[in-house]
Amino acid sequence: MHKMLEQLKFDGKRLIFRNYGFVFFSLLMPTAFYVLFTQINKGQIEMFSAEYMGSMIVYSILITAIMGVGNFMERDRNQGLITLLKITNRNLNHYYISICFWSLMMNIFTIIILGATAILINHVDLSVEQWFILLGLVLVGQLPLLLLGIAISNVKRQETLTILGNLITFPVAILSGLW
């Protein structure tokens, strides 16, 4: 238990509180897009504000899982942190559980920020049940994306990872109508 708590404490600082990439790409950028496009389309499409909030939440999760977590784990591998943990642990379960936990937290944080923006600026009004359904869908839906991010973190070169991340993220975002 102590090992798990220490791992969570260690990764929480790195993934959330000192992760400026997350703040910019997963929070500020989707929020800015949301405000921009909802103001442009104001009143033109009913329920657009609420639906577009959902799109930007999914987009943020995609960026976090593929580009964020993928890069993060690749750097840990290349810097030798994974090797260091392997020497003493028989497996890396604590590490992976910690990464998944904080990814979940990052996504919950995204929902809070985007949700608050949607309520304050566009007066989006969802019922409590709808908010919980949104939360549940995000928590379940993030899992395959997180697995994809973990999978691509195993590439050897950082440049390859960036290309792969872009090749996955942007076609998925465009084809699934997030933008």
Partner 1 sequence: MTNTIKVNKLKFSYGKKQVLREVNFEVQSGKVVGLIGENGAGKTTLLKILLGLLKTNSNVSILGHRPGTSQSVSSMFQGDLKLPSVNVLEILSEVAAQYPNPRKPQAVLEELNLADLARQRLNGLSGGQLRRITFAMTLVGNADLIFLDEPTVGMDVNARQDFWDNVSKLKNAGKTILITSHYLEEIQQTADQILILKDGKIEFDGTLNELQRRYLTTKISFETKLSKTIFAELKHVQSLKQMGEKIVINSTNGDATLQTLVPYLKELQHLNITDASLESIFQTITQKGENNA
Which is closer to partner 1, CB of 13 or CB of 42?
Answer: 13
Q: Which is nearest to 133 in space by CA: 31, 50, 33, 29? A: 50
- Residue selected from 87, 120, 128, 140 as contacting partner 1 according to rule CB under 8 A: 87
- Among the residue ranges 56-64, 71-79, 100-108, 142-150, the one whose residues contact partner 1 (CB under 8 A): 71-79
Q: How far apart are CA 1 and CA 5, in angstroms?
A: 6
Backbone φ and ψ of 89, nearest 5°: -95, 145
Least distance in angstroms from the C-beta of 106 to partner 1: 14
E strands along 4-63, which residues?
none
Q: Applying CB under 8 A, which of residues 25, 37, 75, 172 lies at the interface with partner 1?
A: 75
Q: Out of 23, 50, 81, 150, which residue is the one contacting partner 1 (CB under 8 A)?
A: 81
* Among 89, 93, 160, 176, interactor with partner 1 by CB under 8 A: 89
| CA-to-CA separations, 46 to 100, 126, 136, in angstroms, rounded | 36, 14, 24
- Rounded CA separation 76/64 (Å): 16
- Give residues in contact with partner 1 (CB under 8 A): 2-3, 6-7, 10, 13-14, 18-19, 75-76, 79-81, 83-90
